[in-house]
């Protein structure tokens, strides 16, 4: 089975995936957090270029994710990405953020199916790379998915990654896994599952219900338990020494990339990583008030020295 890392803006960028791969072994595939395509004829610049720079992704199988509703810019971006050596591009049709939806992008594109179909047919025919899609199953109501799935089935997609929530769920409530099952049964292209795989048991239950599953994408589960992919392949849970080594490497790598903002970035990571400990609230209290690098470093060191690990590291919100 393919296990991939979900795109998560601010969390699973090139620094994270490189350090995670060094400490816990590579996943089969990584998706970049969403990137805006450059203007037609231009290259990716700034933050997006850093994310895509082959130097930063050496040895990892990375799929760039784009967020756009401009077909010419999307196609132009695929040409740039093909030159950089990428072999697939992913379109974000799931982002629930108000700003994104307000512009008709991300899950907001699911409200305008005529425009979405014209866009997909156009970009699939002109793209320099195979086009995969990461989607939610509707905007307000999962009844919308019938029409959305029919639309996807008419397009030559490389793969469809299904996060079976609607936009108004954001990340709450149980994923509607039966709509993933419906997709597996009907789609003429490969299908992947994403949503709330937080433990080996969750992955096993998915496989038991949908034995045709060939690709599982994991996000929050791997942030809370960096050994999750390894455990899904029969490997051991993370030890406290491994976790501390991973933490230290991640912090140093962020420091090298973004200097003083590394503390802020690590605090976002701790929102998930605290779930690896028996008392996540105690971990949160130790980390949250730190501002200066020296305070942060002392607090993190104390967490690893004093806080015991949870029996099972599992994301729980
Ligand atoms: C903070 C945050 C940032 C995210 N950024 C992206 C993104 O850039 N692109 C995307 O397709 N999904 C994004 N997602 C959604 C995740 O990729 C994934 O679909 C979601 O977390 C459900 O999977 P999980 O339960 O395995 O975490 C984001 C989610 C969160 C919580």
pLDDT digit string (tens) for 57-66?
999 999 999 9
Residue whose pair of structure tokens reads 């512009």 in the numeric block: 103
Strand partners of residue 309: 277
Cα(212)–Cα(223) distance, integer angstroms: 26
What is the band of 317 on the pLDDT scale with cuts at 50, 70, 90? Answer: confident
State if residue 134 touches ligand 1 by the CB under 6 angstroms criterion.
yes
Give the Cβ contact number of residue 216 at 10 Å.
23
Atom of ligand 1 nearest to the CA of 32: 8
Cα(71)–Cα(136) distance, integer angstroms: 20
Cα(81)–Cα(128) distance, integer angstroms: 8
Residue 260 scores a pLDDT above 90: no
Catalytic residues: 95
pLDDT digit string (tens) for 262-298?
999 999 999 999 999 999 999 999 999 999 999 999 9
Cα(121)–Cα(19) distance, integer angstroms: 38
**Tokens standing for residue 71:** 């077909």
| 195-197-198-201 Cα dihedral, nearest 10 degrees | 150
pLDDT for the residue 170:
97
pLDDT for the residue 89:
98
State if residue 96 touches ligand 1 by the CB under 6 angstroms criterion.
no
Residues near 185 by Cβ (< 8 Å), separated by ≥ 6?
Answer: none
- Beta 131-135 vs 159-162: how paired, if at all? parallel
Secondary structure of 44-63 as H, E, C letters? CCHHHHHHHCHHHHCCCCEE
Task: Determine the average pLDDT of the residues in 176-190.
Answer: 98
Residue 67 scores a pLDDT above 80: yes
What is the band of 223 on the pLDDT scale with cuts at 50, 70, 90? Answer: very high
Residue 50 scores a pLDDT above 80: yes
Task: Determine the average pLDDT of the residues in 164-175.
Answer: 97
Give the Å distance between the CA of 298 and the centre of ligand 1: 30
The superfamily in CATH containing domain 2-226 is Aldolase class I (3.20.20.70)
Task: Indicate which residue's Cα is closest to atom 30 of ligand 1.
Answer: 8
Give the Å distance between the CA of 294 and the centre of ligand 1: 31
pLDDT for the residue 167:
98
What is the band of 221 on the pLDDT scale with cuts at 50, 70, 90? Answer: very high
DSSP 8-state class, residue 36? P
pLDDT for the residue 52:
98
Mean pLDDT of the chain: 97
């Amino acid at each position: 089975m393919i296990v991939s890392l979900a795109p998560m803006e601010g969390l699973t960028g090139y620094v994270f995936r490189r350090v995670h791969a060094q400490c816990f072994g590579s996943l089969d595939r990584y998706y970049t957090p969403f990137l805006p395509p450059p203007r037609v004829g231009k290259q990716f610049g700034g933050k997006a270029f850093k994310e895509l720079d082959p130097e930063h992704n050496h040895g990892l199988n990375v799929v760039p994710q784009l967020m756009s509703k401009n077909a010419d810019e999307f196609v132009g971006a695929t040409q740039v990405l093909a030159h950089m050596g990428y072999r697939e591009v992913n379109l974000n049709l799931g982002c629930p953020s108000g700003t994104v939806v307000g512009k008709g992008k991300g899950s907001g594109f699911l409200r305008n199916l005529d425009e979405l179909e014209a866009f997909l047919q156009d970009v699939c025919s002109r793209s320099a790379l195979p086009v995969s899609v990461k989607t939610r199953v509707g905007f307000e109501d999962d009844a919308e998915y019938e029409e959305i799935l029919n639309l996807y089935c008419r397009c030559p997609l490389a793969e469809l990654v299904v996060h079976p929530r609607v936009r108004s769920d954001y990340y709450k409530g149980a994923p509607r896994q039966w709509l993933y099952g419906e997709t597996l049964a009907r789609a003429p292209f490969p299908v992947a599952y994403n949503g709330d795989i937080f433990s080996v048991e969750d992955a096993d239950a998915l496989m038991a219900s949908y034995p045709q599953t060939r690709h599982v994408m994991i996000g929050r589960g791997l942030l809370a338990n960096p050994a999750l992919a390894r455990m899904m392949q029969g490997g051991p849970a993370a030890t406290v020494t491994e976790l501390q080594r991973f933490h230290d490497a991640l912090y140093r790598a962020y420091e090298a990339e973004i200097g003083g903002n590394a503390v802020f970035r690590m605090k976002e990571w701790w929102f998930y990583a605290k779930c690896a400990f028996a008392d996540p609230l105690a971990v949160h209290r130790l980390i949250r008030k730190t501002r200066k690098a020296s305070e942060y470093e002392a607090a993190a060191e104390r967490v690893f020295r004093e806080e015991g690990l949870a029996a099972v590291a599992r994301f729980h919100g």
